[in-house]
Structure 1
Amino acid sequence: MSALFDQAVFLKFLAAVLAIFNPLYNIPIFLSMTRDCTPAERRRVAMIVMASVTVIALISVAIGEEVLAVFGIDVPSFRVAGGLIIFGIGMSMLNAQDRAPGDQAAVVDGHARKLNFAVVPLAIPLTIGPGTIAVTIVFSHQLSDGAELVTLGSAILIACFIVGLGLLFADSISRLVGETMINVLTRIMAILLVAVAVEMVLTGIFNAVDAHYPGLTGSAGN
């Protein structure tokens, strides 16, 4: 079983995915977009979001690398690109004064389309977007076929369950935690994201140089 489950990768990936999902950050958006919904409709929206995010993330684990291969993109290049995307997400979270303009627009758009906002934009791209997919593909490259499904799949299920709980109990969490604490936790998540992004970019550059100029990195260390 140890060959199919890598605890170190699991913990690192779970932390990165939770930081990107940032369930607390999405709670005010969720509450605003479901303001006119009944409690039953709000629960339905939360379940749809959780299911949508889970399916998309698991698909990224299962066939993410194959999709890259179709377009002729190697993993080191994607690692650098994904790291830059995640770095941008982390910096925007760190510098956000309140809610990003795109999120405000999503709230207005969600009201106009009633419950259609459960999948777009609440699930995609506000909860899962390019950053999550990039992290999933990069981490899956580190594991064998069976291990990536067990290790990353377990982390995704846990992260999506936490997201679902956050939305189901959004009212209670918002009253208990308060907007100030949500903002503080968002900044902490942002710092974690920036650190993950820097590591992804540096590793991607190192791997790309090693792939295109074999021996260069080894000779530099001698």
Structure 2
Amino acid sequence: MNLNFKEIATATMVLFAVIDILGSIPVIISLRKKVGHIQSEKASIVAISIMIAFLFVGERILNLIGIDVNSFAVAGAFIIFFLAIEMILGITLYKDDLPETASIVPIAFPLIAGAGTLTSILSLRAEYHVENIIVAIIINVIFVYFVLKSSKRIEKVLGQNGLGVIRKVFGVILMAIAVKLFAANIGGLMS
């Protein structure tokens, strides 16, 4: 077992920033108004299943199509960088249409376990031990579950300004992580 608190903390922060469940509270609330009840348990279980499955078979899928982990990590760094720009500047570079159902699509996928999250998981895999990433995924999904359960209360407590500040702070952290990820993996592409 290679459990390492620093790796778990870093991976947890990366996933927390990429999943950005606090920033998604307005989306979750608007979905609740559209479709009524959101099954927090179902959304959380599907999201954790997608993330852990991708952690183990994502690399094989990449190998199947001839892409190495370093290339994917560099591409992931770009995606994380653009997510950070969205969070910091409050702009939307990419927008998904919201369908009528909510628990699985779009909450479990792509809101929680979306392209940015899956890219981050594979990028983290290039640097950290699998068991630390799994612990980070579990911590994040537990947090996501509680946020889904109490999204109305959180919105009242934080308000729009509070949510905005949290998004910007995590945007800056995410940008720093993207730069580090890029720097750590670009050498592997050049060799």
Deviations along 1:56-84, whole A, 9 cap, x unmatched? Answer: 11112122222211111111111111100
- Does 2:95 correspond to 1:102? yes
**Of residues 77, 80, 84 in structure 1, which corresponds to 2:71?**
77
Assess if the C-alpha contact under 8 Å between 1:26 and 1:127 holds in 2: no
Normalising by structure 2, what TM-score?
A: 0.91
Q: Which residue of 1 aligns with 2:103?
A: 118
Q: Which structure has the bigger radius of gyration?
A: 1
Normalising by structure 1, what TM-score?
A: 0.79
Q: Which residue of 2 aligns with 1:218?
A: none
- Does 2:135 correspond to 1:142? no
In 1, Cα distance between equivalents of 2:51 and 2:112: 11
Quickly say closer, same or farther: Cα 1:36–1:125, change in 2 above 3 A.
Answer: closer
In 2, Cα distance between equivalents of 1:142 and 1:204: 9
Deviations along 1:12-33, whole A, 9 cap, x unmatched? Answer: 1110000011121111111111
Structure 1 stretches of at least 4 aligned residues deviating more than 4 Å after TM superposition: none
**2:42 corresponds to which letter in structure 1?**
I
Q: Which residue of 2 aligns with 1:49?
A: 43
Corresponding residue pairs, total? 191
In 2, Cα distance between equivalents of 1:178 and 1:90: 21
Q: Which residue of 1 aligns with 2:22?
A: 24
SS in 2 for 1:23: coil
User: Post-superposition shift, 1:122?
Assistant: 2.1
Q: Which residue of 1 aligns with 2:113?
A: 128
Identity rate, percent: 23
Deviations along 1:133-186, whole A, 9 cap, x unmatched? Answer: 11111222335xxx41x2111110110110110010011111111111001101
**RMSD of aligned C-alpha atoms?**
1.9
Gaps of 5+ in 1: 213-222
Structure 1 residues 28-43: aligned runs within 5 Å: 28-36=26-34, 41-42=37-38
Assess if the C-alpha contact under 8 Å between 2:44 and 2:144 holds in 1: yes
Q: Which residue of 2 aligns with 1:217?
A: none
Q: Which residue of 2 aligns with 1:66?
A: 60
Quickly say closer, same or farther: Cα 1:101–1:85, change in 2 above 3 A.
Answer: closer
Mean CA deviation greater in 198-207 or 155-164: 198-207
SS in 1 for 2:23: helix
User: Post-superposition shift, 1:6?
Assistant: 2.3
